[in-house]
Amino acid sequence: MGDRDLFSMGQRITDVNFETVAFDYDSFKIKPSEVGKIEQVAVYMSQNRKVVCVLEGHCDERGSNEYNLSLGEQRAQAVRAHLVGLGVGAERLQTRSFGEEKPLDAGHNETAWAKNRRVEFALFR
């Protein structure tokens, strides 16, 4: 969608939260165990036609900043493609990558890294 943030003027929805979509190390492939989480977002989006969503891709701390920004974007794009496949209008979805900049867990072990490899959903109206 370019540099223009289509959702910057919308109001963030804070009373609806979805589980984050988790990813394996060095991967943007959606695991079968994560599909249900995306389906829940699709149902919500179909019932709330004025809502738009920013898909925020995140990575663990391993890898260069450039690599992690790219991988975070690929993760967000994978979830976006899945949502579009479920009938959510592409114009209602935007992606953003934070790479390794916003960890959920600041630890330096596999448990922490697994929490940080994710896509989060930010909803706006």
Enumerate the domain spans of the chain. Answer: 21-107+117-124
% of the chain with per-residue pLDDT over 70? 93
Contacts of 10 (CB under 8 A, 6+ apart): 52, 124, 125
CB 28 within 8 Å of CB 74:
yes
Nearest-angstrom CA–CA distance, 29 and 23: 7
CB 76 within 8 Å of CB 57:
yes
DSSP state of 29: P
pLDDT band at 34 (very low <50, low <70, confident <90, very high): very high
Q: Which of helix, strand or coil describes residue 21?
A: strand
Q: Alpha carbon of 78 to those of 14, 22, 43, 83, 117: distances in Å?
A: 24, 12, 18, 9, 13
Instruction: Enter the CATH code of domain 21-107+117-124.
Output: 3.30.1330.60
- Whether the per-residue pLDDT at 2 is higher than 90: the answer is no
